[in-house]
Amino acid sequence: MDPLSKPRADIDRLDRELVRLLAERLDAVREIGSAKGRDPSAPLRDEERERNLFATWARTAEEQGISSYFAGRVLREVLNWSRRDQERFLEPAAKNGPRAVRVGYQGVPASYSDLAAQKHFATRDVARLERIGFRGFAAAVDALEAGEVDYALLPIENTIAGSIDEVYDLLGSRRMTIVGEEVWAVEHCLLGLPGARAEELRVVRSHPVALLQCTRFLEGLVGVRSESFHDTAGAAEAVARDGDRHVAAIASEEAAREYGLEVLRRDVANQATNITRFLLLAREREAFDPRRPARTSLAFAVNHRHGALLECLNIFEAHALNLTKLESRPRPEAAWEYQFYVDFEGHADEPRAAEALEALRPHVNHMQLLGSYPRRAEEALELAGRGRVPTNAGADLAPSSDHDVVVAPLKVPACPAVKVNPSLKLTTRREGQPNTIVDVSGVAVGGSRFVLALGPCAVENRAQVLAAAEMVKRCGASLMRGGAFKPRTSPYAFQGLGFEGLEYLREAGRAFELPIVTEVLHPEDVEKMAEKADMLQIGARNMQNFALLKEVGRARRPVLLKRGMSATIEELLLASEYVLAGGNQRVILCERGIRTFETATRNTFDVSAIPVLKSRTHLPVLADPSHAAGRRDLVIPLSLAAAAAGADGLIVECHPNPAEALCDKEQALDAEDVAELVARLRPVVAAVGRTL
């Protein structure tokens, strides 16, 4: 008889008993979890008790003559899973009982993403989990946006390979929110057909990153060629399908089970610790129990200016927020400019974080809250024995609970003396708050330089807009205007050249080094126009087009927001609040005349709006004398009045040949008028302490 058969039978029996005991232990854990769920004031972790457990296990282990280190490791796993298992009791109970969930991931069954999805939902209150594999990350996000899945689980970083750029770029450009995270400890195995031997292999297939992570092992396999596959489990699937015993895959042990392969070697990676962090993405925010430790992810862009990033980081420091990650990605629409991604500990709704986010706004061009969600990444460190688990050895080194990690004295910026209307909280100038300077592709608006934006009412053809650009450049203006899409009162009037006009305008702007500003009429055009225009104009007729305001709030371009012809100053400010609240901090306001009983002018230029706006908001204010007057002869006097009243600049219509203008010809300046405008502005601008 085989001398090993009896001890092996003992082990099998004991293992069954161990698993049964774990299940029984988990039942007790769930009873506690359910009690914690019912009592929102109960703490989630009893650290004193955890310390005692470690001490008891260590003592018992020593009594039994086994290593207390070994017992501690096992307990760590057990406690960690117990805590996760209790989370199901903390979820808000679904109305009709546990729900069926569809989660999208990149890859095929048993890929690391699929395994992480299974792990994530194993301890959540779901009735049925449907896992749907997609070819790429973007396809999973498409399905999420289209409502074909409820969640997408995508990898965001790996402890060896680093950040996954494509997923960062999707986060910055798509409409979704992060509602959770998951970690998976990757253990690469060599998988072959049943009965295959490592010595006879000729080809090893896997994802290129996995192959790179196993170079030392692969170099030891003489004469073996590596073959790249789109994913590790896909490689395993192909090995099983091809049925060639000279071909193996590097993938997870679970992939071996899924595709009927055998693990030929375990742990073939160069580094022992190889953890991937995943983000769970959804269409809407999800509330979660405030007792759970949270993480918040944020994206923002800053001006290309000395110290801009440091100012932002200082705000996190001043609010004692612990940053866990900082990542930068290039912005495709602006060379050498970056979008930053920050993760910090805490929930965006906690006062400390909310204050920090408000304080951040004036320092960024754009800001997008990507989500606040329960933190799980530290779990991987706990399992590696480097986490914040209380141990019997270091009782006084044990960390404080998650919600009072105040490590630095709070240096919160001074509160405003006057009470700010909460509906205008982002637009209002707080006491002592400096002017916001808006960067329009290198032109600063709102600073000491008085800015001129000149150009035709409408882009009519390529030659016209090139001639106009030359005129604009010659007079020293720094921005060029021109309507490609025209909102016309009459449906029979010239409606603009649309995207073709935008191409001409951009060509002219490039040729004469003038950033261009042009009006956007439709929410669905915003993204496409933002690729070409340096600034997006919201016209008077659209000042309260809230769908359009929300859309430009998401855009990565500054916005010129014109006052509606019957809008109060308050309404203009509320409209700007929409854009700021959408994340876009680069808003410039524009007074362009309002409707009154007076008919001598096209509109009535409300010069008092300029100083009123300048005191009520920190945003720059331009004036448009052309649409206010509707008459060429009034454009210069109104321009002088605007400059004297404190405007930050002007937007004025001009045309190489006004008599032939297709739109607003009565108010267009010709080259001579423009020269006169500039000459007469100079002393007025100097008188108010600015330069032209």
Residue range at the interface with ligand PEP (CB under 6 A); choices 135-143, 161-169, 195-203, 536-544? 536-544
Residue range at the interface with Mn ion (CB under 5 A); choices 179-187, 205-213, 248-256, 663-671? 663-671
Contact of residue 347 among Mn ion, ligand PEP, none (CB under 5-8 Å per partner type) = none
Residue range at the interface with ligand PEP (CB under 6 A); choices 35-43, 226-234, 462-470, 533-541? 533-541
Question: Considering the complex, what minimum distance in angstroms separates the CB of residue 466 from Mn ion?
Answer: 19
Distances (CA, A) of 497 to 21, 93, 335, 485, 527: 75, 54, 28, 7, 18
Question: Considering the complex, what minimum distance in angstroms separates the CB of residue 564 from ligand PEP?
Answer: 9
Of 181 and 519, which CB lies nearer to ligand PEP in the complex structure?
519
664 belongs to the binding site for Mn ion (CB under 5 A) = yes
Query: 362 CB contacts (<8 Å, ≥6 apart)?
Result: 433, 434, 436, 585, 618
Distances (CA, A) of 145 to 155, 174, 283, 367, 582: 18, 8, 7, 21, 19
Beta bridge partners of 329: 339
460 belongs to the binding site for Mn ion (CB under 5 A) = no
Tokens of 479: 């921005």
Q: What residue is closest to Mn ion based on CB?
A: 457
Out of 361, 562, 586, 690, the only residue in the binding site for ligand PEP (CB under 6 A) is 562
Residue range at the interface with ligand PEP (CB under 6 A); choices 74-82, 310-318, 534-542, 606-614? 534-542
Out of 627, 632, 655, 690, the only residue in the binding site for ligand PEP (CB under 6 A) is 627
CA-nearest of 570, 535, 333 to 443 is 535
State the helix-helix crossing angle for 68-86 and 5-38, rounded to 10 degrees: 40
Q: Which of 177, 232, 276, 428 is catalytic?
A: 276
Question: Considering the complex, what minimum distance in angstroms separates the CB of residue 399 from ligand PEP?
Answer: 57
Residue range at the interface with ligand PEP (CB under 6 A); choices 39-47, 271-279, 409-417, 535-543? 535-543
CA separation for the pair 446, 224 (Å, rounded): 65
What single letter denotes the amino acid at residue 515? P
At 248 the three-state DSSP class reads strand
Contact of residue 591 among ligand PEP, Mn ion, none (CB under 5-8 Å per partner type) = none
Contact of residue 540 among Mn ion, ligand PEP, none (CB under 5-8 Å per partner type) = ligand PEP
Tokens of 625: 């004398």
CA separation for the pair 257, 108 (Å, rounded): 14
Q: Which of 278, 340, 344, 605 is catalytic?
A: 278
C-beta of residue 549 within 8 angstroms of C-beta of residue 524: no
Out of 211, 342, 457, 643, the only residue in the binding site for Mn ion (CB under 5 A) is 457
CB atoms within 10 A of CB 247: 22
Does the annotation mark 278 as catalytic? yes
Does the annotation mark 391 as catalytic? no
Per CB under 5 A, which of residues 503..522 are in contact with Mn ion? Answer: none
235 belongs to the binding site for Mn ion (CB under 5 A) = no
Q: What is the helix (H) or strand (E) element at residue 249, kind and residue range?
A: strand 247-251
CA-nearest of 165, 144, 157 to 102 is 144
Residues in touch with ligand PEP (CB under 6 A): 457, 483, 487, 519, 539-541, 562, 592, 624, 627
Residues marked as catalytic: 276, 278
Residues in touch with Mn ion (CB under 5 A): 457, 664
